[in-house]
Amino acid sequence: MPCAHKHARGILVDIIIAEHELRMHSQWQERIKRKLESSCTTTGNLKSPNEKLVKEFHSELYKLLPEASELSRKLYEAESMLPANPLKRNYEDNRKDPKWYMRKELVADCAGRNGCCSRGCGCCALRATESYERGVGHCTVECSCCVSFRGFEPSPMERQEIKFWYPE
Ligand SMILES: [Zn+2]
Ligand SMILES: [Zn+2]
Ligand SMILES: [Zn+2]
């Protein structure tokens, strides 16, 4: 049944895109939080926040929060489109392990994109929480470690990268 097959592929692509956008978004939030932490200047034992930067980062963060719940709802909806068996079962079995994404092929993919898996920092494995969480996985252009390694922030164009990998 070629039609059914194509349909399943479409659902998987929707999931991949939704997952990537949520992951990029959570790495974005993470990166702003780190910028917030490092915007304190330390003099001796005293840490004093740079008011202007703190304000700027807070407003960046507040703008992102409503989007986060929107993106996780989108992923949830895409997942709910999976046909019951065997795709859904495979998908759910896979994600019982919070480090499901540390599979060899996905690590190689991250390394190939010059993500943290191409260096010795181990950020990707460290991202895993105790139980499976949506949006946790390999580096996107928003990974704070990759951004400081590169030395510049991602452009709006780079944030759209997933749309170029899977054109409609
Ligand atoms: Zn790293
Ligand atoms: Zn990274
Ligand atoms: Zn990685």
How far CA 58 is from CA of 7, 36, 46, 125, 156, in Å, comes to 42, 8, 22, 28, 20
Phi, psi of 93 (to 5 degrees): -60, -45
| Of residues 126, 112, 107, 121, the one with CA closest to residue 149 | 121
Q: Which stretches in the chain have pLDDT values below 50?
A: 1-2
The DSSP annotation for 7-67 comes to HHHHHHHHHHHHHHHHHHHHHHHHHHHHHHHHTEEEETTEEEE-HHHHHHHHHHHHHHHHH
- pLDDT of 5 reads 52
What confidence tens digit (pLDDT) does each residue in 158-167 have? 999 888 888 7
Distance between Cα 148 and ligand 1 center (Å): 9
**What DSSP element (H or E) covers 111?**
helix 104-112
The domain spans of the chain are 2-165
Coil, helix or strand for 97? coil
Distance, CA of 113 to CA of 21 (rounded, Å): 16
Distance between Cα 121 and ligand 1 center (Å): 5
Distance, CA of 73 to CA of 51 (rounded, Å): 34
Nearest listed ligand to the Cα of residue 31: 2
- pTM of the shown model: 0.84
Coil, helix or strand for 91? helix
Q: Which residues surround ligand 2, an ion (CB under 5 A)?
A: 115-116, 139, 143, 145-146
Distance between Cα 16 and ligand 3 center (Å): 16
DSSP code of residue 142 = T
